[in-house]
Chains A and B, each alone.
Chain A
């Protein structure tokens, strides 16, 4: 025969279980908007039945117990989310970098290099038609100075942005290492709890959120372990394992998109870090194109100008100073000193504008150093290339964001809290608790009947 108080045990366990279920529901509701939170489910199972051997063997259920509280999460969707996230983050950074370079060029518009180049060559053309006019000479010098100024402006902004990107790379690596430390700390706490058989859901959520934040910065690969911990790799580098975290080295080479500690070379393929490397490479590319353009203008104008005789009767004078790239472009000292040092012709006579006409024609001359393009074509091509590159990353980013949002929706569909669902569960557990309590009352009454009515 079953024990007299067996029912009370059943009722007590049920009350405890439903109380706990209500707590889990409350926890879910409280975390409805917590980032990285995965909803938790209470797993209630039947207790083993007891079999009584009387006239016939009789098996009676003994109620239930709380097996575990688990988090609901889809590992596969998590993996896809991380992958999409670091690619999106790379594209986002690249798109920002290219957008910044576009902003520096200020094309198409009146403040761009194209219009100052045009104005300079137009001034030469003007001088060729009015070689004896001081006003035309002044105009050539003024427009050339404006061109030099615009080149310096762009060059300085390139240099500054390069410095900024270098600082950002260092900050990103520091941040990666800080998050790695955080993940490692969480791993250690998770392991110490899970060896005792517990399921530290909330710590795991925090750890997974930290990994997700890490994929904003760099491409990572994770491996799960039975003790609930995760190992995190960046390329060939183990960033975090069960025992600790290992800093990503800060020495980098943007061209090959790698970081190194001097011996080990780690390839970076994703995240903001890869985007920053890409930005540095793009900046270098546009710096080279600016230098080539400036060198071409300087060399071609100087070669012609040297052959001229100016109004002071001297020849062999350079118009532009400097020799390498945009950085040292300037007007020669002679041009700054005296506009009569500008040679408009080859005869030295004031009405000779033949040379000025040739110099004005430089804008359309194909230059082998510019791939047989003229300076104007070369520049237009640079800007078009910049536009295409920038648009490419913007489009890629949009696609990636749409994918990320779709995956996140699926992921949230599994792990996110639905308030109505929790409220319905709350009602269910409340009623269940009430039923268990009522059952206890009934048992209490029958026991009371037994005690007080018998043997009176």
Chain B
């Protein structure tokens, strides 16, 4: 084929520019480590990256929600433990009060101890989280839920909370309750203590060893059970947090697979592009060196 001189130079120039562009492309990939920096780099991968990023963001949120719920429940569990302790101590006092060896003066002193235990029970039942919100108030987290009140029919304590269950999403489609509603347990325990206090003051030894002890045992057992439930819930949230972390890591890896440049590939390609660039530069010099002008007589 006949070659036009300007075309020859134009195409050499174009080859150099193309080679430069490729070197630049792989250099950018090397330095940023990113292969898909805009959707058109790989539309299919871009779709995956967006979907995965969205899923990862949600997993991270699940992880943080589950961890926070678990921490809150651990506080609730500790309060429930305190309440169980209170009932154990009350049981000891009641047994002592039911003992024939204890005189009435002694029973009055024991009644005062029960009174102190009642206050501790209420204090634990009105436990707050780190931001000052009540742990056992349902949705009414800013209202002190348990208030001793002898005007309530059949009870000596009033519940000012509600039955609101806090449901949180701890995984895809995993809805878990993150608060504990213990108004019944606390009321029973408080009433049992009230019963003990009154019988101690009245010197009703047989009542103490019969009805009262039963009430205290029942209330203590219920609190212990509830504490056990808290443990199960904590475990569920811990599992959910671990699962969310695993998912998030997996998503991170998949995003990286789709988005990041393969280092070995990139280095090889960069090397190849540089070689081609050198060759195109050399071609220009060689082509420029050959012309009939050099052989014409001056």
Question: At the interface, yes or no: A129 with Cβ under 8 Å from chain B?
Answer: yes
**Contact call B60/A122, Cβ cutoff below 8 A:** yes
Inter-chain contact B54/A416, CB cutoff 8 Å: no
> CB within 8 A of B42: which of A352, A385, A387?
A387
- Choice from B5, B47, B179, B259 contacting A417 with Cβ under 8 Å: B5
B42/A119 in contact, CB under 8 A: no
Contacts of B9 on A, CB cut-off 8 Å?
33
- Whether the Cβ atoms of B64 and A126 lie closer than 8 Å is yes
Tell me, yes or no, whether B286 is within 8 Å of chain A by CB.
no
Q: Mark B134-149, 1 if CB is under 8 A from A, else 0.
A: 0001111110000000
Query: Contacting A405 at CB < 8 Å: which of B14, B54, B167?
Result: B14
Which of B38, B58, B164, B259 has the most chain A CB atoms inside 10 A of its CB?
B38
- Evaluate contact between B4 and A417: CB separation under 8 angstroms: yes
Within 8 Å by CB of B140, from A107, A351, A388, A413, lies A351
Binds B, one of A319-327, A376-384, A433-441: A376-384
**Is A128 on the interface with B (CB-CB < 8 A)?**
yes
| Interface residue ranges of A326-355 to B (CB < 8 Å) | 345, 347, 349-354
Q: Are B39 and A99 in contact (CB under 8 A)?
A: no
Number of chain B interface residues as a range: 35 or more
Known contacts A102-B38, A102-B40, A416-B6; is A345 also within 8 Å of B139 by CB?
yes
**A160 within 8 A of partner (CB):** no
A347 x B139 contact (CB < 8 A): yes
If A119-B57, A126-B65, A349-B138 touch, does A384 touch B166 (CB 8 Å cutoff)? no
Q: Which residues of B contact A405 (CB under 8 A)?
A: 11, 14
Q: Any chain A CB within 8 A of the CB of B293?
A: yes
Chain A residues with Cβ below 8 Å from B152 are none
Q: A108-B259, A128-B168, A380-B47 are in contact. Are A413 and B2 (CB under 8 A)?
A: yes
Let me know if A413 and B7 touch, CB within 8 A. yes
Q: Interface readout for B57-86 with A: 1 if CB under 8 Å, 0 if not?
A: 110110011001100000000000000000
A109 CA to B34 CA, complexed, in Å = 11
**B133 contacts across to A, CB distance below 8 A:** 132, 350-351
- Cβ of A189: which chain B residues have Cβ within 8 Å of it? none
Interface check A261, CB cutoff 8 A? no
Q: Contacts A122-B60, A419-B291 given; indicate if A354 touches B5 (C-beta within 8 A).
A: no
Task: Judge if B106 is at the interface, Cβ distance under 8 Å.
Answer: no
Contact partner of B50 (CB less than 8 A), chosen from A32, A114, A349, A424, is A114
Q: Is B51 an interface residue (CB 8 A)?
A: yes
CA distance A122 to B64 in the complex (A): 10
Knowing A118-B53, A349-B140, A357-B169, the reply to whether A381 touches B164 (Cβ < 8 A) is: no
The reply on B262 being an interface residue by CB < 8 A is no
B153 interface residue (CB < 8 Å to A): no
Interface SS majority for chain A: helix
A105→B58 CA distance, assembly (Å): 21
- With a cutoff of 8 Å between Cβ atoms, the chain A residues found around residue B68 in the complex are 129-130
Once the chains bind, are B57 and A122 in contact (CB under 8 Å)? yes
- Closest A residue, CB atoms, query B40: A390
- Would you call A360 an interface residue if the criterion is a C-beta within 8 Å of the partner chain's C-beta atoms? yes
A419 and B47 contact, Cβ closer than 8 Å, known pairs A132-B141, A351-B138 = no
Which residues of the other chain, A, contact B61 by a CB distance below 8 angstroms?
122, 125-126
Contacts of B259 in A (CB 8 A): 108
Among residues of B, the one whose C-beta sits closest to the C-beta of A115 is: B53
Q: Verify if B228 is at the interface (C-beta below 8 Å from A).
A: no
Tell me the residues in window 138-178 of chain B with beta carbons closer than 8 Å to chain A beta carbons.
138-142, 162, 164, 166-169, 178
Question: Is B267 located at the chain interface by the 8 A CB criterion?
Answer: no
* CB nearest neighbor in A for B6: A33
User: Which of B11, B40, B57 has the largest count of A CB atoms less than 10 A from its CB?
Assistant: B40
Does A253 lie at the interface of the complex (its beta carbon under 8 Å from any beta carbon of B)? no
With A102-B38, A102-B39, A391-B43 known as contacts, the answer to whether A419 contacts B5 (CB < 8 A) is yes
Q: When the two chains form the complex, which single residue of B47, B54, B58, B139 contacts A381, counting CB atoms closer than 8 Å?
A: B47
A349/B139 contact (C-beta < 8 A), A388-B43, A391-B43, A412-B6 known? yes
Which residues on the A side are within 8 Å of B131 (C-beta)?
132-133
A217-264 contacts to B, CB under 8 A, are: none
Measured between alpha carbons, how far is A354 from B178 in the docked complex, in Å? Answer: 12
Residues B1-60 near A (CB distance < 8 A): 1-7, 9, 11, 14, 36-44, 46-47, 49-51, 53-54, 57-58, 60
Residues of A within 8 A of B39 (CB): 102, 105, 107-108, 383-384, 386-388, 390
Interface assignment of A145: CB less than 8 Å from any CB of chain B: no
B169 touches A32 (CB 8 A): no
Cα distance A383–B269 in the bound complex, in angstroms: 28
A48 to B259, CA, bound (A): 79
A45 at the interface (CB under 8 A from B): no
**B164 and A351 contact, CB distance less than 8 A:** yes
Residues of B within 8 A of A424 (CB): 292
Assess whether A423 is interfacial by the CB under 8 Å rule.
yes
Most buried by B among A108, A117, A357: A108
Across the interface, name the chain A residue whose C-beta is closest to B51: A380
* A residues less than 8 Å from B292 (CB atoms): 419-420, 423-424
Asked if A275 is at the interface of the complex by the 8 Å CB criterion, the answer is no
Is A349 a contact of B168 with CB atoms below 8 Å?
no
Residues of B within 8 A of A108 (CB): 36, 39, 46, 49-50, 53, 259
Known A354-B167, A391-B40, A391-B41; further 13 A-B contacts with Cβ < 8 A: A32-B6, A118-B53, A128-B169, A349-B139, A349-B140, A351-B133, A351-B166, A376-B50, A383-B46, A387-B39, A412-B6, A413-B7, A415-B4
Pairs across A and B, CB under 8 Å, 24 listed: A33-B6, A102-B38, A107-B38, A107-B46, A108-B50, A108-B259, A122-B60, A125-B65, A126-B64, A129-B69, A132-B131, A345-B139, A349-B139, A349-B140, A350-B133, A376-B50, A376-B51, A379-B50, A380-B54, A381-B47, A386-B39, A388-B43, A394-B40, A418-B3
B residues engaging A (CB < 8 A)? 1-7, 9, 11, 14, 36-44, 46-47, 49-51, 53-54, 57-58, 60-61, 64-65, 68-69, 131, 133, 137-142, 162, 164, 166-169, 178-179, 259, 291-293, 296
Which residues of A approach B to under 8 Å, CB–CB? 32-33, 98-99, 102-103, 105, 107-109, 114-115, 117-119, 121-122, 125-126, 128-133, 345, 347, 349-354, 357, 360-361, 363, 376-377, 379-381, 383-391, 394, 405, 408-409, 412-421, 423-424, 427
